[in-house]
C-alpha cells in the first residue's frame, strides 16, 4: 500500500511538503517549502519534519518559490544528500531565491542577537553554506521526459505556467499515477505557457490558493498604463514594489509593449534589484520554459525584457542616488510586499511626498507594510521609525501568477477520468470551496488535506 503524508501546506498556503511512499520502497518528498507570513506560521519552520531526511530517496521540486523550496537547506543541514529533481530553470531560480533567504535570515539572526528582549531566534534556520549543499544536489529534468532515476517509481515534469521553470509533477508507481500540481499558473499570459493539461491520473494533489476567488477580468497592462499616466500627471515618481523573480520581468515586458505602442511618455526606468537583474538573465537562458526566446526577440544580453530606457541599479550607492529623482521616472524594487530589501529605503523616502505614487502589483500578506499601505494606513513603521504615507497608493491585481477559481476548474476539466483529489496549499475556506466545486462539476471525489494526515492509496 502506497501512502501520502501531508506534512505542510495543508490548511495553509505555505510550507509545501508531501511525502509519497510507494509499495516498492520509494520515499519521495514532493516539494520542501518554508512556512512564511505571521509568526505562528514561521515558527513551524523550527520543528523538524516528521520524516528522517536521511531515509528519503529524492525530492521532486515543483518550482523555485520559497514556500515550495525554502526548507531544502534545512533538510540538507539535517543530513539529506540525495538528488533534488526539478527543471534546469527551477534549479537556477531556487538557488537565487535560497541564497537571498539565507542572507536575510543571517541578518535577522544578527539583529535578534542585539535585541535579546524581543525573544526572536538568534541563529539563522540555515546559512549560505547550507545552500551550497542544496545547489550541489539539484539534478535537472526536461519537461515531458519520463525519468526512472528513483528506484520504485518513475516521474515526469510538465509545464505548470506559474513561474519560470515551474512544473506539475507526475509520479508513476505500481500501475498507478499521482499528479501534484505544485502551483498552477494562468491561461493566456504573455511570457509563460498555459498550465499543461493532464488527461489521466489516479490521484491528484492540487493547490487551491485562489480556490474561492476570481482575478479581475481587466488587462493588467492597461491598468499599468493608467497608473503610469496618472503618476506622470502628478509630476512625481512611480515606485513599484515587485517580486524580483517573475513579476519584475512581467512589469518590464508590459512597459516595453506600452512604449512600443507610444501609449506612455518617455520615462527613465530603474530596476533597483540585483536579484531581479539575475532573474532576467535566468529567463534569457531558458527559452524552453518561455512562450518565446528572449534572445531571438530582443537580442542577447537584453535584461530589460524589451523595455527601453532601463537602467539596472547594482550598487547601494547608485540606489541611494535615486532618492534625488523628482519626476519622470519609474523605480522597480523588491521585495514585492515591502517586507525587506531596497524597496524599504524608497518607501521611507517617497511615502511622505504627495506627488509620488506607489503601485503594488501582487498579493500583500497580512502584517506586511504593503498590506498596511493598501488598507489606507496613514503611516507605517520602516526601520523602527514612523513614516507618513502621503503618496498616492494604488494596487493592480491582474498580474497574479496563480490560477484563480475558474482557471483551476478549467485545469481539472482536462482529465478524462475521475482522479481522487486532495486539496492543499490553501486556507480552509478556499480549499473546501474548490473541493466542493470540483466534485460538483466533474464528479470526482475531492477533499481538503489536513496537516499530518496520512492517506493510504493503492
Ligand atoms: Zn509559487
Same domain, 98 and 163: yes
Question: Which of 395, 422, 444 lies at the terminal end of a domain, its last residue?
Answer: 395
* Other Cβ atoms within 10 Å of 43 Cβ, number: 11
All residues at 6 or more sequence positions from 205 whose CB lies less than 8 Å from its CB, including other chains: 4, 18, 30, 178, 179, 180, 181, 421, 422, 424, 449
Residue 364's pLDDT band (cuts 50, 70, 90): confident
Same domain, 343 and 364: yes
349 C-alpha to ligand 1 centroid (Å): 31
Asked whether residue 90 carries a pLDDT value surpassing 80, the answer given is: yes
Q: Which tens digit of pLDDT belongs to each residue from 297-329?
A: 999 988 899 999 999 999 999 999 999 999 999
13 C-alpha to ligand 1 centroid (Å): 10
Sheet with 138-140, side-by-side order of all strands: 138-140, 84-86, 58-60, 27-30, 17-21, 2-8, 454-457
Same domain, 224 and 355: yes
CATH of the domain at 386: 3.40.50.10890
162 C-alpha to ligand 1 centroid (Å): 7
Same domain, 185 and 293: no
21 C-alpha to ligand 1 centroid (Å): 24
401 C-alpha to ligand 1 centroid (Å): 8
Same domain, 227 and 132: no
Question: In sequence order, what DSSP letters do the residues of 31-89 get, joined into one string?
Answer: --PPP-SSHHHHGGGGSPPSS-GGG--EEE---SSHHHHTTHHHHHHTT--S-EEE-HH
389 C-alpha to ligand 1 centroid (Å): 30
| Domain around 286 | 220-395
354 C-alpha to ligand 1 centroid (Å): 34
Same domain, 199 and 226: no
Same domain, 322 and 447: no
211 C-alpha to ligand 1 centroid (Å): 15
Q: Which tens digit of pLDDT belongs to each residue from 30-75?
A: 999 999 888 888 899 999 999 999 999 999 999 999 999 999 999 9
Question: Which of 395, 426, 444 lies at the terminal end of a domain, its last residue?
Answer: 395
CATH of the domain at 123: 3.60.15.10
241 C-alpha to ligand 1 centroid (Å): 18
163 C-alpha to ligand 1 centroid (Å): 7
Asked whether residue 168 carries a pLDDT value surpassing 80, the answer given is: yes
Q: Which pLDDT score is estimated for 36? A: 87
Same domain, 268 and 343: yes
Question: In sequence order, what DSSP letters do the residues of 358-392 get, joined into one string?
Answer: EEE-S---TTSHHHHHHTT-SEEEETTEEEE--SE
Residue 295's pLDDT band (cuts 50, 70, 90): very high
43 C-alpha to ligand 1 centroid (Å): 21
Q: Which tens digit of pLDDT belongs to each residue from 394-453?
A: 999 999 999 999 999 999 999 999 999 999 999 999 999 999 999 999 999 999 999 889
Same domain, 273 and 329: yes
The whole-number average pLDDT for the span 331-352 is: 93
Instruction: Tell me the residues surrounding ligand 1 (ion) with CB < 5 Å.
Output: 65, 183
Listed residue (80, 225, 161) closest to 407, CA to CA: 161
Same domain, 203 and 256: no
449 C-alpha to ligand 1 centroid (Å): 18
Total domains in the fold of the chain:
2
Question: Which of 379, 395, 411 lies at the terminal end of a domain, its last residue?
Answer: 395
Same domain, 117 and 199: yes
426 C-alpha to ligand 1 centroid (Å): 12
Same domain, 225 and 206: no
Amino acid at each position: 500500500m502506497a501512502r501520502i503524508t501531508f506534512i505542510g501546506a495543508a490548511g495553509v498556503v505555505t510550507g509545501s511538503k508531501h511525502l509519497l511512499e510507494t509499495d516498492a520502497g520509494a520515499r519521495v518528498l514532493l516539494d520542501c517549502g518554508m512556512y512564511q507570513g505571521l509568526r505562528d506560521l514561521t515558527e513551524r519552520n523550527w520543528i523538524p519534519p516528521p520524516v528522517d531526511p536521511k531515509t528519503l530517496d529524492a525530492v521532486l521540486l515543483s518550482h523555485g518559490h520559497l514556500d515550495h523550496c525554502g526548507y531544502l537547506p534545512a533538510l540538507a543541514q539535517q543530513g539529506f544528500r540525495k538528488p533534488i529533481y526539478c527543471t534546469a530553470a527551477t534549479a537556477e531560480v531556487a538557488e537565487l531565491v535560497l541564497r537571498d533567504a539565507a542572507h536575510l535570515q543571517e541578518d535577522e539572526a544578527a539583529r535578534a542577537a542585539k535585541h535579546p528582549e524581543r525573544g526572536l531566534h538568534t541563529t539563522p534556520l540555515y546559512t549560505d553554506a547550507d545552500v551550497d549543499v542544496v545547489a550541489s544536489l539539484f539534478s535537472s529534468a526536461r519537461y515531458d521526459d519520463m525519468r526512472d532515476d528513483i528506484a520504485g517509481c518513475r516521474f515526469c515534469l510538465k509545464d505548470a505556467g506559474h513561474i519560470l521553470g515551474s512544473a506539475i509533477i507526475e509520479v508513476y508507481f505500481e500501475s498507478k499515477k499521482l499528479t501534484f500540481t505544485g502551483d498552477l499558473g494562468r491561461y493566456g499570459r504573455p511570457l509563460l505557457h498555459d498550465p499543461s493539461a493532464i488527461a489521466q491520473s489516479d490521484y491528484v494533489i492540487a493547490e487551491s490558493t485562489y480556490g474561492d476567488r476570481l482575478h479581475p477580468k481587466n488587462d493588467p497592462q492597461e491598468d499599468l498604463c493608467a497608473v503610469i499616466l496618472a503618476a506622470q500627471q502628478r509630476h512625481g515618481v512611480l515606485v513599484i514594489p515587485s517580486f524580483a523573480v517573475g513579476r519584475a520581468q512581467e512589469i518590464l515586458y508590459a512597459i516595453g509593449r506600452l512604449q512600443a505602442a507610444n501609449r506612455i511618455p518617455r520615462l527613465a526606468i530603474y530596476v533597483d534589484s540585483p536579484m531581479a537583474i539575475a532573474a532576467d538573465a535566468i529567463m534569457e537562458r531558458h527559452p524552453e520554459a518561455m512562450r518565446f526566446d528572449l534572445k531571438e526577440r530582443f537580442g542577447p544580453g537584453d535584461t530589460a525584457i524589451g523595455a527601453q530606457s532601463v537602467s539596472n541599479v547594482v550598487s547601494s550607492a547608485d540606489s541611494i542616488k535615486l532618492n534625488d529623482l523628482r519626476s519622470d521616472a519609474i523605480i522597480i524594487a523588491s521585495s514585492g510586499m515591502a517586507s525587506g530589501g531596497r524597496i524599504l529605503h524608497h518607501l521611507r523616502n517617497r511615502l511622505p511626498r504627495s506627488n509620488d505614487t506607489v503601485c503594488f502589483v501582487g498579493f500583500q500578506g497580512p502584517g506586511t507594510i504593503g498590506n498596511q499601505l493598501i488598507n489606507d494606513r496613514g503611516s507605517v513603521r520602516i526601520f523602527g521609525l514612523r513614516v507618513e504615507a502621503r503618496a498616492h497608493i494604488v494596487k493592480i491585481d491582474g498580474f497574479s501568477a496563480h490560477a484563480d477559481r475558474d482557471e483551476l476548474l478549467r485545469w481539472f476539466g482536462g482529465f478524462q477520468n475521475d482522479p481522487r483529489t486532495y486539496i492543499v496549499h490553501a486556507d480552509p475556506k478556499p480549499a473546501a470551496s474548490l473541493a466542493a466545486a470540483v466534485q460538483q462539476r466533474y464528479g470526482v471525489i475531492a477533499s481538503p488535506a489536513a496537516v499530518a494526515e496520512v492517506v493510504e492509496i493503492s
